[in-house]
Amino acid sequence: MHAQWVACGIHMKNERGEMTNLGLSLMPIDQVTVEDTWFMAGMKGTGSNTIVAKDVFVPEHRFLPYPQAFGGTYRTEHTDEVVYRAAFVPITVLILAPSQLGAAQSALEHAIAKSKTRGITHTNFATQAESAGFQMQIAEAAMKIDTAFLHARRAADDLDRFAQESRLMDVTGRSRVRMDTALAAKYCREAVEVLVAAHGTSSLADSNRMQRYWRDVHTASHHAITEWQVNLEVYGKALLGIEPNITHLI
């Protein structure tokens, strides 16, 4: 909510209502209206409200055409900088992963730290850490998080390598970045589910940070572009060379 600029997608249509171009625009915050519509179970602090722009002029230098960007051509004078050569859609997808990885890792650390003093209700265990069942839940969650990190890092490495070499990733490579990100989001969500069960019912108390991790990861991991079944189909079609794919956002 402290931003001075907003980045909004624009669809350009002709007189027949057909889309002729689309892209990302930058507009000063004082030229738009922000409607308070972000009432979600999680990610409450993101300020992802509705932006309304009425009769706002966007000069050409503040508009990034998506079709050219999808092909690796960006409106930038900084062509010598590697970051401006990274594949557009994959990098915008992958940036959704780090906050989820951080939340899942923090949930794991919280559950481990508290296990030394928390017992298991209605059992003889003085602490959770003594329980073989709890130990297995911690191990399962940790491996899911480790796997999520590995896939996210592979995707980042792929993006960096192609950008460094000034090469545009092919459709299969770009689809795999989407798949890696979707898997990372899925495993973060599943890991936190395991940790909530292991930590106990108090995980869902307002005073317990675990419920915030749970809400945030669930909300973030269900972003449309990281939906698991969608990305399975995107990647599967790319691997098999089936065209057209189900989305142009690859």
Q: What is the pLDDT of residue 74?
A: 85
Q: With a cut of 90, say whether residue 40 has pLDDT above it.
A: yes
What confidence score (pLDDT) does residue 85 get? 86
**Structure confidence at residue 138 as a pLDDT band (50, 70, 90):** very high
Q: What mean pLDDT do residues 7-31 have?
A: 92
* pTM exceeds 0.85, yes or no: yes
Q: State whether 70 and 184 are in the same domain.
A: no
Report the mean per-residue pLDDT for the chain: 94
Which of the listed residues 17, 41, 75 is the one where a domain comes to its end? Answer: 75
Total number of domains in the chain: 2
pLDDT digits (tens, 9 = 90+) for 59-110: 999 999 998 888 888 888 887 888 888 899 999 999 999 999 999 999 999 9
Tell me the percentage of the chain whose pLDDT exceeds 70.
100
Q: Count CB neighbours of 111 within 10 A.
A: 26
Rg (CA), the chain: 22
For residues 119 and 186, membership in a common domain is answered with yes
Q: What are phi and psi of 124, to 5 degrees?
A: -90, 0
In the block, which residue shows the tokens 């559950």?
Answer: 111
Residue 174, domain member (yes or no) = yes
The verdict on 121 and 60 lying in the same domain is no
In a shared domain, residues 68 and 93: no
- Residue at 61 is within a domain: yes
Domain boundary among 75, 96, 112: 75
Phi, psi of 185 (to 5 degrees): -65, -45
Question: What's residue 94's pLDDT?
Answer: 97
Of 9-13, 14-18, 182-186, the range with the highest mean pLDDT is: 182-186
Please, where are the H alpha helices in the chain?
A: 66-70, 88-94, 97-114, 132-164, 171-199, 209-221, 228-240
More confident residue, 76 or 165: 165
**CATH number, residue 221:** 1.20.140.10
Q: What is the mean predicted confidence (pLDDT) over 11-29?
A: 92
Same domain flag for 174 and 203:
yes
Average pLDDT over residues 21-25: 92
Q: Would residue 80 count as lying in a domain?
A: no
The boundaries of the domain holding residue 171 are: 88-240
The answer on 96 and 57 residing in a single domain is no
- For residue 137, is pLDDT > 90? yes
Of 45-49, 114-118, 140-144, 239-243, least confident by mean pLDDT is 45-49
pLDDT tens track for 184-204: 999 999 999 999 999 999 999
Task: Assess whether 36 and 94 both reside in one domain.
Answer: no
Report the pLDDT value the prediction gives residue 82, as an integer from 0 to 100.
87
Residues 34, 150 within the same domain: no
pLDDT given at position 70? 87
Choose the final residue of a domain: 54, 75, 96. 75
Asked if residue 27 and residue 92 are part of one domain, the reply reads no
Same domain for 143 and 210? yes
User: Is the residue at 249 inside a domain?
Assistant: no
